[in-house]
Structures are given as C-alpha cells and as structure tokens.
Amino acid sequence: MEKLRLLIERIAAAGRLTVGVRTAMDMIHAASVGCTLNLIRTPQEQRDPALPGRLREAVLAAITTETPTGPPSVAQRAVGLTAVLDDVPGLYTPGERALLDELLDRAAQSSLS
C-alpha cells in the first residue's frame, strides 16, 4: 500500500486528484480486491479478460482530472499540500504535523465532490 500511496500523492501534487489521497487509495484497493475476487469465482471460460483494464480506467476517471483547469480549488490545494509535506522533514513537530494533517484532510473532504 505504501507504493500506491506514493503514486497517488504524486498525482495529488500535480493537482490532478479529485478526491483525498486516503479516499483514492480506498477506491483503488476496493476495486482491485473486488475484481480479483470476481475473477477467482468466475469459471475460466466465462471470465471477461478486459474487465481489469476497464475497471482500472473507470476508477482512474473517478479519482483524477485530465488536466488542472483554472485555479486550483481549496480541496485540490489541501490535497496537494498534504502530498508534499513529507518532502520537508523536521519542518513541523509531530503534534503540529498531526494537527495540520487533520485540518488539511477536513478542507479536502469538505470541498471535494
């Protein structure tokens, strides 16, 4: 999950994530597990080999925007800032960082649709 988080944080830092990092991770994980279980339970001759690719594209379309349009929203800024905070270790105390993470998460979740 750490690799997934890092990839999603890069998308967020680029201003292309339309949901919070945690929500994006949860959506991708749920879709992956669901698809895998579906393929396991479906007899091989009935499996749709295109299903994983179509599901991947649907999830990506749901959590990203093609290109940033106009000025970033408060939510996009909050998600982007959260994604790059790890690049400046020692800037905040653990307590300050926890508070900032909570505030940024709240800003991101309240403004994202």
As given in the structure block, the two tokens for residue 50 are 């295109």
Instruction: Identify the pLDDT of residue 68.
Output: 64
Instruction: Identify the pLDDT of residue 29.
Output: 96
Cα–Cα distance list, 3 to 7, 9, 12, 93 (Å): 6, 10, 14, 25
Asked if 1 contacts 29 with a C-beta cutoff of 8 angstroms, the reply is yes
Instruction: Identify the pLDDT of residue 113.
Output: 46
Return d(Cα 75, Cα 104) in angstroms, integer: 8
Kindly list the averaged pLDDT for each block of 10 residues, start to end, along the chain of length 113: 86 82 93 95 94 95 79 78 79 91 84 52
Instruction: Identify the pLDDT of residue 76.
Output: 77
Instruction: Identify the pLDDT of residue 108.
Output: 80
Q: What is the pTM for the complete model shown?
A: 0.65
